[in-house]
């Protein structure tokens, strides 16, 4: 399937987070040496037959890694508490019996996706990576309505022509990172939350006659909790929350393929009541005690649980069946990455899930496979002198899942590649081959040994086997963006200048770097326009690498061996959310809509740029700012001319400060700005002896004051974050409002407050 010339698309890619054990061991127990030429080493996943086998495995791995300070296993997070338990005076029998109590709970083109998958080209949706798969976002439409989630509120806006009407709002439970899908009369909203449990602390001391122990309670561990909220949209004037699922762990991402939602969760095991020594002499006893704690654990201490509420019915239990949980042959930590499947038409159910004992970092999905990539490093404890070597020893495990629209995900294959991934765009599947761009080493040291590479994998009998490789991308530089499409790929690296690379991927066994272009600046997001042109969104820079501001580049890649930058559009002192979040980018025909924010106060809105015939043309801009009626102040503004030659003039000219002279009876203040009040008698202490005579010349009197105000160039709540097109009407969203503008002429037609 071609990935070009798609205007309304669906897409999938997930982002999972994690670390795994650096002291990686094959099933034989021999350590794996991941050298630069040894990237084809593979690991496969092993399923558990039942909960007894799973628990036995977890206890065995934990006891091998536990120490006097808990489970500080290599490559994973410190799983334990600060050094508070003291066991140096305890006898071995005491340590075996004095279990501390705890109240810790168990508890081709990327294009725009449409919400319903109808293929309706009258409206755009979320800019996504892959054809056929939708990504969740803070704004969604189906062409007749717009749903927006921000500041913990979900707003429903009905659309009629260029007019929008907010019919209802509904508050969402506490959390952050809200994003949603809509389909028919149902919305699913995803967010993260959590809280703390109290932990009982046992501290021991000893006298000549007996051991003593005191109990105290302190704030406990933070317990991450993912939330999935089901909302009934059938009555747009009365939105209803009809279901909520809480899951122990962190929500990472979700994707919608057809009618199937896949949700990724990363869950850490419960905290145990570790005992800690107060001196090195008691470390052995603490270790023995901690091993006994592990022996007493149950399956609930290690695996995530859920609670599902639908109406007045509540159910709870283990998130995954033990036989649906897998482990890599080599240890990858105690976290669990779970992938849950829901039919969005059926709403929230307990779901079908599959998981792996590992924590994740990046997920990419095609229509029939998605891949969980887990980055890790080989050394857990390292001296400062060895930091450079440590930073060059990263590797990445990749696990492949077989998916379909009507069945849960199933594990299919795994592999290992040296280096780390930048983001979801570092992976792509084409004709059954997985292509990955990774970066080895670190560009931020004197050795300059960082280098990016493309590796091609083929699935062979449950193994992702390396069959091709192209190295030499940006030696000594960082990878800033990547895009892989059918038989062609692009990558941008940067240190001082921007090498833009073109890769020929037509032969998966022999991918090649066939073109390179060196230009100032860099692109952090690459978006193909068609088979001949690619747009880059990023930052302009000097030849020495000093960043200047927003840059939009148009690359002509019709000749793979000779890529050219045919046009640029720049704005100094500015950036765009699209640089770090591809969902902020929108394209409609040949028109790009790009949110722009200038820290010098020039623009706070969105610009429209026309791409065509190798050129970038400025069309116009929209803003959510309203014209001010003037400063709300009863004081007198001090001009730069009046303050010429003083330090105050410098602050007005260089940093845009606002100075005003206020009498004792003036209220003062300046719009919504923060102002510092300085009595006239104290002004020389602030800005030098030459200030007060000048102020007296312009009428300042005893008892007056100077106010120095830090004026915001614009209302940050009105920064545009997203854009949609519905029937040739441009809809833009900021945190404070939804606004419509006609594409032809950009006349503002309606403003809907949503804050």
User: Tokens 């890790």 belong to which residue?
Assistant: 376
User: For residue 699, is it within any domain?
Assistant: yes
Residue-wise pLDDT for 256-293, tens only, equals 888 888 888 889 998 888 888 878 888 899 899 999 99
Q: Is 666 inside any structural domain? A: yes
Q: What domain count does the chain have?
A: 1
pLDDT digits (tens, 9 = 90+) for 151-187: 889 999 999 999 999 999 999 877 889 999 999 999 9
Return the pLDDT at 386: 56
Residue 38 has pLDDT above 70, yes or no: no
**Do 43 and 413 meet the contact criterion of CB atoms below 8 Å apart?**
no
Residue 293 lies in a domain: no
Contact 754, 737 (CB under 8 A): yes
What's the CA dihedral at 590, 595, 598, 604 to 10 degrees?
110
Say if 245 falls within a structural domain: no
Whether residue 423 is contained in a domain is answered as no
Residues 6+ apart with CB under 8 A from 483: 425, 489, 490, 491, 526, 527, 528, 534
Average pLDDT of the chain to the nearest whole number: 81
Asked whether residue 630 is domain-assigned, the answer is no
The mean pLDDT of 87-99, rounded to a whole number, is 38
Contact (CB, 8 A) for 701 and 677: no
Structure-token match 């280096």, residue found: 419
How does strand 451-460 pair with strand 463-473? antiparallel
Q: In this structure, are residues 291 and 66 in contact, taking their beta carbons and an 8 Å threshold?
A: yes
For residues 250 and 111, what is the distance between their CA atoms, to the nearest angstrom? 28
Which residue from 160, 158, 179 is spatially nearest to 169, judged by alpha carbons? 158
Residue 49 pLDDT exceeds 50: yes
**Residue 403 — very low, low, confident or very high, per pLDDT cuts 50/70/90?**
confident
Is 44 within a domain?
no
Type and span of the H or E element at 643:
none
Running DSSP on this structure, what letter comes out for residue 583?
G
pLDDT for 292: 94
Domain extent, residue 661, equals: 636-710
Better pLDDT: 477 or 109: 477
In a domain, 667, yes or no: yes
- Residue carrying the six token digits 């020495």: 544
CB 360 within 8 A of CB 337: yes
Q: What is the mean pLDDT of residues 745-751?
A: 96
Residue bearing the bigger pLDDT, 66 or 8: 66
pLDDT band at 216 (very low <50, low <70, confident <90, very high): very low
Q: Report the alpha-carbon distance of residue 528 to residue 331 in Å, rounded.
A: 40
């Amino acid at each position: 399937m071609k990935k070009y010339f798609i205007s309304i698309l669906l897409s999938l890619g997930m982002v999972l987070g994690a670390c795994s054990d650096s002291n990686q061991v094959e099933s034989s127990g021999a350590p794996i040496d991941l050298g630069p030429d040894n990237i084809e080493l593979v690991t496969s996943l092993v399923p558990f037959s039942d909960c007894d086998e799973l628990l036995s495995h977890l206890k065995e791995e934990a006891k091998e890694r536990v120490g006097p300070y808990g489970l500080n296993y290599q490559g994973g997070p410190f799983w334990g508490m600060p050094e508070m338990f003291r066991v140096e005076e305890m006898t071995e029998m005491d340590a075996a019996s004095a279990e501390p109590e705890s109240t810790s709970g168990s508890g081709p083109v990327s294009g725009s996706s449409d919400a319903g998958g109808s293929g309706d080209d009258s409206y755009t949706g979320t800019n996504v990576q892959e054809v056929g798969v939708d990504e969740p976002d803070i704004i969604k439409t189906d062409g007749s309505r717009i749903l927006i989630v921000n500041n913990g509120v979900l707003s429903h806006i009905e659309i009629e022509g260029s007019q929008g009407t907010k019919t209802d709002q509904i508050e969402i439970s506490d959390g952050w990172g809200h994003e949603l899908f809509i389909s028919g009369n149902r919305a699913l909203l995803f967010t993260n939350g959590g809280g703390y449990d109290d932990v009982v602390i046992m501290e021991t001391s000893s006298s000549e006659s007996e051991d003593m122990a005191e109990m105290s309670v302190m704030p406990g561990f933070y317990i991450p909790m993912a939330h999935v909220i089901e909302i009934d949209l059938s009555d747009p004037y009365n939105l209803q929350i009809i279901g909520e699922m809480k899951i122990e762990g962190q929500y990472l991402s979700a994707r919608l393929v057809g009618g199937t939602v896949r949700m990724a969760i990363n869950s850490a095991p419960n905290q145990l009541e570790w005992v800690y020594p107060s001196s090195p002499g008691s470390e052995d006893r603490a270790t023995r005690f901690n091993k006994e704690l592990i022996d007493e654990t149950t399956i609930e201490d290690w695996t995530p649980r859920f609670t599902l509420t639908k109406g007045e019915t509540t159910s709870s239990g283990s998130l995954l069946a033990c036989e649906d949980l897998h482990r890599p042959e080599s240890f990858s930590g105690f976290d669990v990455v779970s992938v849950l499947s829901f039919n969005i038409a059926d709403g929230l159910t307990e779901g079908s899930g599959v998981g792996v004992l590992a924590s994740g970092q990046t997920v990419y999905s095609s229509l029939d496979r998605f891949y969980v990539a887990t980055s890790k490093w080989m050394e857990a404890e390292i001296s400062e002198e060895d930091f450079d070597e440590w930073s060059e020893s990263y590797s990445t495990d990749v696990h492949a899942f077989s998916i379909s629209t009507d069945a849960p995900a199933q594990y299919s294959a795994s592999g290992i590649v040296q280096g780390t991934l930048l983001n979801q765009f570092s992976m792509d599947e084409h004709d059954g081959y997985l292509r990955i761009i990774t970066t080895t080493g670190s560009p931020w040291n004197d050795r300059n040994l960082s280098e990016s590479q493309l590796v091609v994998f083929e699935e062979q009998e449950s193994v992702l086997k390396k069959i091709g490789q192209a190295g030499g991308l940006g030696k000594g530089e960082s990878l800033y963006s990547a895009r892989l499409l059918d038989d062609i790929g692009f990558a941008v690296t940067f240190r001082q200048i921007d090498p833009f690379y073109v890769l020929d991927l037509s032969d998966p066994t022999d991918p090649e770097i066939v073109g390179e272009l060196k230009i100032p600046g860099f692109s952090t997001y690459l978006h193909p326009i068609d088979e001949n042109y690619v747009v880059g969104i990023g930052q302009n820079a000097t030849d020495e690498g000093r960043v200047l501001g927003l840059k939009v580049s148009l690359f002509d890649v019709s000749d793979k061996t000779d890529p050219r930058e045919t046009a640029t559009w720049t704005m100094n002192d500015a950036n765009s959310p699209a640089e770090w979040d591809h969902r902020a980018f929108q394209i409609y025909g040949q028109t790009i809509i790009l949110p722009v924010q200038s820290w010098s106060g020039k623009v706070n809105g969105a610009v429209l740029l026309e791409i065509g015939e190798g050129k970038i043309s400025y069309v116009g801009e929209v803003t959510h700012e309203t014209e001010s009626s003037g400063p709300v102040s009863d004081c007198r503004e001090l001009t730069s001319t009046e303050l010429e030659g003083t330090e105050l003039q410098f602050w007005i000219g260089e940093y845009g400060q606002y100075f005003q002279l206020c009498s004792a009876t003036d209220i003062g203040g300046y719009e919504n700005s923060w102002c510092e009040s300085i009595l006239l008698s104290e002004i020389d202490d602030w800005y030098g002896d030459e200030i007060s005579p000048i102020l007296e010349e312009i009428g300042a009197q005893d008892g007056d004051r100077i106010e120095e105000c830090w004026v915001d160039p614009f209302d940050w709540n009105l920064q545009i974050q997203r854009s949609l097109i519905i029937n040739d009407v441009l809809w833009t969203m900021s945190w404070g409002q939804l606004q419509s503008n006609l594409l032809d002429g950009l006349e503002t037609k309606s403003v809907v407050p949503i804050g």
